[in-house]
A = this chain, B = another copy of it.
Amino acid sequence: MIKVVILGAGNVAFHLTNFLLKNKKVALLQVYNKNINKIDYLKNAVSVTDKISNLNKTGDIYIIAVSDDAISSLSNQLMLPNKLVVHTSGNVSINELQSKSGKGVFYPLQSFSKNKNINFKNIPFCIEADTSKNLFLLKTFTKIISDTYFLINSEQRKQLHLAAVFVNNFVNHLYYLGNEICEENNIPFEILNPLIKETANKIEELSPFNAQTGPAKRNDKETMKKQLAMLPKKSKEIYTLLSNSILETYGKKL
C-alpha cells in the first residue's frame, strides 16, 4: 500500500486529505502544517504536526500542497533520500523543489473551494517526475485517485495553468459581473443557470471559435452601444475590451 504524507492545509490539501482518509488503497500517515490550528480538526483521524523535525519518515510520497511561493522554502527543509516529494502547483517548475529526495509534480487541474465537494475520479491530473522509477510510483498513485492523468512537463503545465486562469478564474468573475447586473434589477440569477451550463457544455461539440454568438460576433453596433450605456464604469471597460477582442477574432473592427 502506498504511504502518503500531506504538507499543507489549503483547498487542495484539505480535499486531498479528506479523500485519502476515506480511501482504502492509500495509507495517509500524517498531515503537516506550520499553523497547527488549521489541521487540529484532523487529530482524531490521523497524526498531525507543525514540526518538520517530527515528520514521519516512512512515507513513499510526500505531497506539498502549499501556496506557490512557499514550495521552495518548505521543500528545502526536507531530507528524504529515496522518497518522492511532489508539489501540486500548476505554476511552479519541478526544479523549484529543493528537497533532498526524488521529485515530482502532481497537479490536479480543477478548482477547489473548501465548501464544495470534489470528486477526484473526474479530475485530470498533470504529472511529472525526475526519474522513470519515480514516474512509475506517481502514476500508480494517481491511478488510485483519478480516472485520467496526463504527462505534462513544467513548461506545458505553466501554460496550462495560465489557460485555466482564463477558463476558470476569469470566467467565474464574469459570472460575478452578470450576477451584479441581475441583483441590481431584481432578477433571480438562477434564470441564467441553463445558459451558463450550455455555454460550458457546447464546447465539447464545437470549438470555442465556432460556438461564439452575441452582439460582438454579429458586429451589431447598435446593441453594443446601448449595452455599454447601461453599464457602470468598471464593467464598461471589460465590455469594451472583450467585445473588441471578439470583433478582432472574427476580422471586424468596433
Query: Are A213 and B174 interface neighbours, CB within 8 A?
Result: no
A64 → chain B closest CB, angstroms: 16
* A172-229 interface with B by 8 A CB criterion: 172-179, 181-182, 184-188, 191-218, 220, 222-223, 226-227
Tell me if A254 counts as interface (CB < 8 A to partner B): no
Query: Are A193 and B187 interface neighbours, CB within 8 A?
Result: no
Among A162, A184, A202, the most chain B Cβ lie within 10 Å of the Cβ of A162
A152 → chain B closest CB, angstroms: 7
Query: Are B167 and A226 interface neighbours, CB within 8 A?
Result: no
Query: Are A178 and B163 interface neighbours, CB within 8 A?
Result: yes
Stretch in contact with the other chain, from A15-23, A52-60, A75-83, A106-114: A106-114
Tell me if A67 counts as interface (CB < 8 A to partner B): yes
Query: Are B113 and A223 interface neighbours, CB within 8 A?
Result: no
Query: Are A245 and B241 interface neighbours, CB within 8 A?
Result: no
A203 → chain B closest CB, angstroms: 6
In the bound complex, residues from chain B placing their C-beta under 8 Å from that of A162 are 181, 227, 230-231
In the bound complex, residues from chain B placing their C-beta under 8 Å from that of A109 are 191-192, 194-195
Q: A117: nearest residue on chain B (CB-CB)?
A: B205
Query: Are A192 and B167 interface neighbours, CB within 8 A?
Result: yes
Query: Are A202 and B170 interface neighbours, CB within 8 A?
Result: no
Q: Contact string, A138-162, partner B, CB cutoff 8 A, digits 1/0?
A: 0000000000001010011011111
Tell me if A238 counts as interface (CB < 8 A to partner B): yes
- Known A124-B191, A159-B185; contact A113-B175, beta-carbon cutoff 8 A: no
A176 → chain B closest CB, angstroms: 4
| From B110, B159, B199, B212, contact of A200 by CB (8 A) | B199
A149 → chain B closest CB, angstroms: 10
A77 vs B191: C-alpha distance in the bound complex, in angstroms? 33
Q: 29 A–B contact pairs at CB < 8 A? A: A11-B213, A68-B222, A69-B222, A91-B226, A111-B198, A111-B199, A111-B202, A113-B202, A113-B206, A115-B206, A116-B206, A116-B211, A123-B194, A124-B194, A150-B188, A152-B187, A160-B185, A162-B231, A163-B178, A167-B178, A168-B199, A168-B214, A171-B196, A171-B199, A172-B199, A172-B202, A172-B213, A173-B212, A178-B208
Partner-B contacts on A (CB < 8 A): 11, 67-69, 91, 109-113, 115-116, 122-124, 126, 150, 152, 155-156, 158-179, 181-182, 184-188, 191-218, 220, 222-223, 226-227, 230-231, 234-235, 237-239, 241-242, 245-246, 248-249
